[in-house]
Structure 1
Amino acid sequence: MKFHLPQSYKYWWPVDVMLPDADKPGKVAKQSFEMQFAPISADEGTAMLAAIQALPVEQQAAHQHDELKAVCVDWRGVIGEDGEPVAFTKEALALALQFSWFSRGVYKAYGRSLAPEA
């Protein structure tokens, strides 16, 4: 198959989130969903990192997930406490990224999507 070089690229990728099991103390539960990524170029990533590093140290933490916020464009399979689907918004993503198990799962999935194995 020939390589297709699109102007922009979006794709769905599975995300596994390992979080504390609410019903089994000391145990971990695996929950899964799919994230749609629209990756940024290496140049954009480098510029974003440089801009964050140029900030005063006390402001840098507020920007720790900027790359994920830029590349995550949709999700499916995410439900709320009422069991109903949660619509993807940048605000909902920012809230979810505040939970370390969620952000770890998304970072891991995004990293794997950038270097998939055949």
Structure 2
Amino acid sequence: MFRLTQSPTYFWPVEFELPDEDQPGKFVKHGFDAMYARLDVDAHQALIDETMNKALSDCEFARRVLRGWRNVLEDDGKTQMPFSAAKLDQLLKVTNVGTAIAKGYMESRGVIVEKK
């Protein structure tokens, strides 16, 4: 079954690795659920065209498609961090996160993204 009218957003997992603070030379996997904008075909293609023309960085791409998140925690490691433009800017300063958000969006659209 299919319902033509769909919600304007959806959740998709985002995963990335960061250096392990306790084990030099090792990485730790991290992740959260991204709330992506459900772009229609035309808006999606325009975004891809702009990206292919190198007019958008991964972080700018992430700003265009991300509408929220869950499982991003405050410093206490327990409290869910509310989504805001300022918190998104802070998140996007973490190495590899902008790329992971962009990759997650593309995977959610059925595009296979190869690891470089």
Q: TM-score, normalised by structure 1?
A: 0.72
Which stretches of structure 1, 4 residues or more, deviate above 4 A after TM superposition? 47-50
* Corresponding residue number in structure 2 for 1:57: none
Q: Percent identity?
A: 30
Query: Residue 18 of structure 1 contacts residue 105 of structure 1 at CA under 8 Å; is this kept in 2?
Result: no
Q: Distance in 2 between matches of 1:25 and 1:74?
A: 32
- Partner in structure 1 of residue 29 of structure 2: 30
Residue 106 of structure 2 corresponds to which residue in structure 1?
111
Counterpart for residue 56 of structure 1: none
Structure 1 residue runs without a partner (length 5+): 54-59
* Residue in 1 that maps onto 2:85: 90
Map 1:1-118; keep pairs closer than 5 Å.
Answer: 1=1, 3-6=2-5, 9-45=8-44, 46=46, 50=50, 64=57, 65-83=59-77, 84-115=79-110
SS in 1 for 2:96: helix
Unaligned ranges ≥5, structure 2: none
**TM-score of the aligned structures, taking structure 2 as reference length:** 0.73
* Count of residues in correspondence between the two structures: 107
Cα distance, 1:93 vs structure 2: 1.1
Relative distance call for 1:47 and 1:25 in structure 2 (3 A) is closer
| SS at structure 1 position matched to 2:24 | coil
- Greater CA radius of gyration, 1 or 2? 1
Bigger mean CA deviation after superposition, 26-35 or 41-50: 41-50
